[in-house]
Structure 1
Amino acid sequence: MKHILDNPIWGSLTTRSKNLANGNQLAKYYHPEVSSFAGLRDNSGDDFKNLHQLVPHNTDIRIFTPGEIIIPDYWTIIQQVNIFQMVYKGSDQLTSPHQSFVQLSEKDIPGMMALVRLTNPGPFLSRSIDFGYYEGIFDGDHLVAMAGQRMQPDGYTEISAVCTHPDYLGKGYAFMLISNQIRCITAASQTPFLHVFPGNLSAVNLYKKLGFETRREMTVYTLQKQ
């Protein structure tokens, strides 16, 4: 039996993120303002055909697979990249919460979008806040660092959108924000996991320091419907 993290988007959309799911029994996807992610039950030809029928033309979608697969020719492959999937194996012996953490809400979306445009931590859209718990650190009225939660397959919660304004690097904000996300996720009896580009060595080393271990390499396809 496949591990749920081998197909994390499908696992999320069919379990703890059902409220964000569109689609049917073979293919599901998030609302386009929440995420460009889509999940397929088995990555079969029928699954891809169903997804093709569901999403609008000229829509870019992203799927995660445990290695390379054959993509039907009625999809255009915009990008194909490999990423590490890392799972938390730590002991929960983390530093105490930072007193300046602020739970982010609707009013903070413009600042979140501005920080994402500046730092490019990965896909983040105008309603990505609907995924769940995002926290940030402010300097006055300016959001300078944040981290949040994204995919939530049964038993696991992904940490995502970890980013710090370039002028505030070196202050340990990412370490503190991720530490608190780990604390919140494990307190809810879930296991933290995340995804990172293999070439982002500073991030990989930070995650290892925090107690994450590489579980496997995943392939991410960005596809456009023809």
Structure 2
Amino acid sequence: MVHVLDNPVWNALISGNSALAQGPASVKYFAEDVSPFVGFDAFTPEAFGLLHALVPAERVLGVVSPVPMAIPTQWQVMQYLQVGQMVQEQPAAAVLLGPPPVQLGPAHVPAMLALTKQTRPGPFLPNTLAFGHYEGIFEGPELVAMAGQRMHPEPYAEISAVCTHPGHLGRGYAGQLILRQAQRIVAAAGIPFLHVKSDNVRAIKLYHHLGFVTRREMSFYIIRKNPA
């Protein structure tokens, strides 16, 4: 039986994130200022062809597949990443360390964009906040750590945009924010999961400590229309 997390983008766009979905019945995607990810009912050449007709030439898109695949030549693969998909099996208690987290809103978007540009946790765009539930930790006026939620392929909810300013590492901020997100998800009868680059040893160690286990490896493709 195919697991819902084997095709997380598609299953999110037809369930928990359906209010943010654009596109026809077999290919769906988020608005360009929300997220680059696109979901396919099936990873077929016909589906990629339909997407090619739907999006502008300059748009950069993200495709998530459970296995490596050949992207049709009408697309340029800008980047390929192997990513671990992890699910929380042993919830842990959040411990308050340092300044208390605050709910992030539209007024915080410039600071959020600046932090993600510096730390590169994954795609974060001017309206990514539309996914909801973002929290951050400030030291004085500066946003130094944050985390939120992204894809919701029910009953799962993805913890995303986990990042800490390089000058504030080692203070437990990321772990605190992740556990708060996980508790929020569990309280809503969901199951927390996340994605992490397979070579990010530091983050993987932290996620194991917080009760996450690797479910499987996933393939992430960053693509745009082939100018040729």
Identical positions, percent: 45
Kindly report which structure 2 residues correspond to 1:1-226, keeping only aligned pairs within 5 A, or say none.
Answer: 1-90=1-90, 92-96=91-95, 100-226=100-226
Q: Secondary structure at the match of 1:126?
A: coil
TM-score, length-normalised on structure 1?
Answer: 0.96
Q: Within 2, Cα distance between the matches of 1:190 and 1:24?
A: 27
Q: Is the 8 A contact 1:26 1:46 kept in 2?
A: no
What SS does the corresponding residue of 1:10 show, helix, strand or coil? helix
Following superposition, the deviation at residue 188 of structure 1 comes to 0.5
1:125-163 alpha-carbon deviations (Å, 9 max, x no partner): 111000111000011211110000000001000001011
2:174 is paired with a residue whose SS is: helix
Q: Which moved more, 1:117-126 or 1:95-104?
A: 95-104
- Secondary structure of 1:83's aligned partner: strand
Structure 1 runs (4+) deviating above 2 angstroms are: 95-99
Contact 1:97–1:180 (Cα < 8 Å) also in 2 = no
Amino acid at match of 2:26: L
CA contact (8 A) 1:164 1:174 kept: yes
Runs of 5+ in structure 1 lacking a partner? none
Report the alpha carbon displacement of residue 198 of structure 1 after superposing the two structures with TM: 1.3
Q: TM-score, normalised by structure 2?
A: 0.96
SS for the counterpart of 1:152 is coil
Separation of aligned partners in 1, 2:96 and 2:190: 19
1:76 & 1:93 partners in 2: Cα distance? 42
Write the distance in 2 (CA, Å) between the matches of 1:95 and 1:140. 22
* Distance in 2 of aligned mates of 1:33 and 1:5: 24
- Spell out, residue by residue over 1:56-85, the C-alpha distance to the aligned partner (whole angstroms, 9 max, x if none): 112110100011112111111111111100
How far residue 50 of structure 1 moved from its aligned partner, in angstroms, is 1.3
Contact 2:92 2:211 survives alignment (8 Å): no
The aligned amino acid for 1:184 is R
Cα displacement (A) at 1:97 = 5.3
Structure 1 distance, partners of 2:13, 2:85, is 18
Classify the secondary structure of the residue corresponding to 2:176: helix
Q: Which amino acid aligns with 1:132?
A: G
Query: Partner of 1:51: helix, strand, or coil?
Result: helix
After TM superposition, the structure 1 stretch with the greater mean CA deviation from structure 2, 15-24 or 95-104, is 95-104
Amino acid at match of 1:19: A
Structure 1: distance between partners of 2:92 and 2:214: 20
> How far off its partner does 1:185 sit?
0.6
CA RMSD in angstroms, aligned pairs only: 1.1
